[in-house]
Structure 1
């Protein structure tokens, strides 16, 4: 599948790029559905926000839109994936960054993970991970390039028969799945863990938090203790590619599928 670096069609990246050497950058993964990028304004907002928090220069958004249009022309219009990576570029060997220089922008295309469509219909099973997420509020909620915790989590997942992992922080709080945000349903309340210390704030999480009140949901973003999972009416997880996926089992506890999740799935494709 094709890749563009700073708008040029190429698979080559400079060996001195700080994204490669230091993980100095961030990214967003976009779903293509029906020939369009789902929730692109939220992805752009996330990228802009991360550039600001990391004191990186903003990309040329007009040029990036042109590259995305090219990428769309190479995608399966029904379902596909586009990944946008922004790095601080090449600035020498040391840690000290040169601020506000134009970043390097990498756009890649991929096939859509078809198993997500099955997950949306039938749900997934979770098992609690042994690996815990470390707290770093300065980086919390951002999708930075340093994803080694998630690499280790995926290696751990291969040891189980579950579909994904329930991930806690070092204090035992519920945070997320290995690559998705988690929501609990209790009555008309949607409860999702605070990401003030660690975890990734996905664009589907943001979209749901922004629009749920219009659909008569009461939202709670707060610390979630593990024993609360025993008392929820239903649960689901979200990310940009899967939308909303019901959780049907957490460890040894079956979890019912709420009819409301179908409404949430449709909402997240808008």
Structure 2
């Protein structure tokens, strides 16, 4: 894997050990795809990044600066990760009197996901790990992703591509690296993320496309058992696009028409100049 990295606009591959992102996870990040030098779904990514910074009371980076730095590290095809931390401080949890945020813009080789994952669908499992609840951080993509790391380490079966995560009440929240959608009687359902979980830019796009196409998208608590009654299930994030879910244990789903519709609409949206 190769990477091109800017730290506060300067080519670098290290940060100080006193950075609060390293010491406390005091920061946020967003990951996006660049194709032919163009950041896909950028407006939604930046809105999410700004929202997350504001949730942590970290200054929002200038959008034009980020766009310029993305262009520098990713002139062609790449995956770009934008990290914003509260910057440097001494030992202790107290925030510095004046925050000088640090931004890290890094480009990596695009992942090579087999085409059949999007075409034929994937198998998933239910993770044993239970997500903790913190409403103040719900939806925010903080640097504290240890729950996802531990959940993803629960299985090594290459035929299982994702793990579904629930809260302590058994409500479906998300997958380890993606958001979850159910199709029920021609409408979309996606879990409410007011207690825990991460709200992705691709999730926002699916909801926007549904609204534009006159398709209801119900954002609410989803009992895990509701998966049994769903007509279709798919996962969404900015690198996989949409993956149909076709199997969870013995339960099977078809790759349905609404899943195909949103795959097509996302591809068309990404292809716009």
**What's the TM-score bracket when you normalise by the shorter of the two chains?**
over 0.9
Task: Tell me if structure 1 keeps the 8 A contact 2:120–2:255.
Answer: no
Query: 2:35 and 2:175 mapped to 1: Cα distance?
Result: 24
Task: Tell me if structure 1 keeps the 8 A contact 2:139–2:197.
Answer: yes
Deviations 1:86-113 (A, max 9, x none): 0001021110112662310001111111
Picking from 132, 135, 139, the partner of 2:133 is 135
Match of 1:252? 250
Shift, 1:260, TM fit = 2.1
Match of 2:49? 47
Match of 1:89? 87
Deviations 1:218-257 (A, max 9, x none): 1100000111111111110000111111000122101111
Any stretches of 5+ residues in structure 1 without a counterpart?
none
Comparing 109-118 with 167-176, which one deviates more in the overlay? 109-118
Match of 1:27? 29
Q: 1:174 to 1:116 in 2, by over 3 A?
A: farther
Normalised TM-score (structure 1): 0.94
Name the SS for the 1:32 alignment partner.
strand
Match of 2:8? 6
Picking from 144, 147, 162, the partner of 2:145 is 147
Task: Tell me if structure 2 keeps the 8 A contact 1:157–1:164.
Answer: no
Query: 2:241 and 2:184 mapped to 1: Cα distance?
Result: 20
Let me know the Cα RMSD of the aligned residues.
1.5
Normalised TM-score (structure 2): 0.93
Deviations 1:49-94 (A, max 9, x none): 1111111112233222211110122x43xxx200000000102111
Match of 1:267? 265
Task: Tell me if structure 1 keeps the 8 A contact 2:162–2:176.
Answer: yes
Shift, 1:160, TM fit = 7.5
Q: 1:187 to 1:34 in 2, by over 3 A?
A: farther
Match of 2:199? 201
Match of 1:37? 39
Query: 1:124 and 1:130 mapped to 2: Cα distance?
Result: 19
Task: Tell me if structure 2 keeps the 8 A contact 1:57–1:99.
Answer: no
Name the SS for the 1:156 alignment partner.
coil
Task: Tell me if structure 1 keeps the 8 A contact 2:6–2:104.
Answer: yes
Picking from 59, 67, 70, the partner of 2:69 is 67
Q: How is 1:181-200 mapped onto 2 (pairs within 5 angstroms)?
A: 181-200=179-198
Task: Tell me if structure 2 keeps the 8 A contact 1:117–1:242.
Answer: no
Shift, 1:142, TM fit = 0.6
Name the SS for the 1:268 alignment partner.
helix
Any stretches of 5+ residues in structure 2 without a counterpart?
none
Q: 1:100 to 1:234 in 2, by over 3 A?
A: farther
Match of 1:218? 216
Query: 2:113 and 2:64 mapped to 1: Cα distance?
Result: 34
Name the SS for the 2:160 alignment partner.
coil
Picking from 109, 112, 115, the partner of 1:114 is 112
Shift, 1:118, TM fit = 3.1
